Every structure is written in C-alpha cells, then in structure tokens.
C-alpha cells in the first residue's frame, strides 16, 4: 500500500507508555495512519482502558504503517505507545490518499 498522510503529531516513543495522540471528538477525519520510522518496534493501544504495553498491544515493526478506518476509530480517545527496548519515532495523522500500488 502507498499511504499519504497529513501528520498531526510526530513523537519519540520510549519504554514508558504515554499518550501520543487523542482522536477527534467529533466528525470523520479520514483514515487514521500510525507509522513507525524509528529503530525499535512500537506497541500501540487505542482507548482509555487500552494503554500500550510490550506484551498486550498491537505491534508496529520498524518501517511499518497501520491504517485504522472510520469504523475502528472511537471518538475522543487516547492513542498510547511504548517500545519493548530503546526508543523509536511514531507519526500519527489522517490519511489523504490510500491506494494499492
């Protein structure tokens, strides 16, 4: 897939889980794109009761991207992230073009 996104935040992620983004509280803002451009796998949790951990969260490997479509994006909830070791770079934004190449 080729994914073009308008990044809302770019942050460094470490072994301590923290909120890196909060989804919009209303309206539909296209597809939510989460990208890992760092050196370590990132673990992601979406929702107030789903805080990221290195054993119970969705993994995004180095160089990976995930697109969450409208039906998967709850309104006004935190997206948390951490790494199992080291640090990495997470980018979160809304897709502007999603196409198969």
Helix, strand or coil, per DSSP, at residue 70? helix
User: In which band, very low, low, confident or very high, does the pLDDT at 96 lie, cut at 50, 70 and 90?
Assistant: confident
Instruction: Give one DSSP letter per residue of 48-64, joined into a string.
Output: TT----SSSSEEE-TT-
User: In which band, very low, low, confident or very high, does the pLDDT at 15 lie, cut at 50, 70 and 90?
Assistant: very high
User: CA of 26: how far to CAs of 17, 23, 70, 76, in Å?
Assistant: 25, 9, 12, 7
User: CA of 48: how far to CAs of 5, 9, 28, in Å?
Assistant: 25, 19, 20
The domain that contains 95 carries what CATH number? 2.60.120
Show the domain range for 71: 2-99
CA dist 101 and 80 (Å) reads 30
Token digits of residue 83: 């790494």
CA dist 39 and 87 (Å) reads 7
Number of domains present in the structure of the chain? 1
> pTM to 2 decimals?
0.86
**For 28-63, what is each residue's pLDDT tens digit?**
667 889 999 999 999 999 888 888 988 878 999 999
């Amino acid at each position: 897939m080729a994914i073009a996104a308008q990044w809302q935040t770019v942050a460094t992620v470490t072994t301590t889980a923290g909120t890196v983004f909060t989804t919009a509280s209303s309206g539909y803002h296209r597809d939510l794109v989460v990208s890992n451009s760092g050196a370590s796998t990132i673990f992601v949790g979406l929702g107030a009761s789903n805080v990221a951990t290195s054993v119970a969260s969705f993994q995004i490997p180095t160089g990976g991207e995930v697109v969450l479509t409208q039906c998967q994006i709850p309104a006004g909830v935190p997206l948390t992230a951490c790494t199992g070791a080291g640090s990495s770079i997470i980018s979160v934004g809304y897709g502007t073009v999603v196409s198969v190449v």
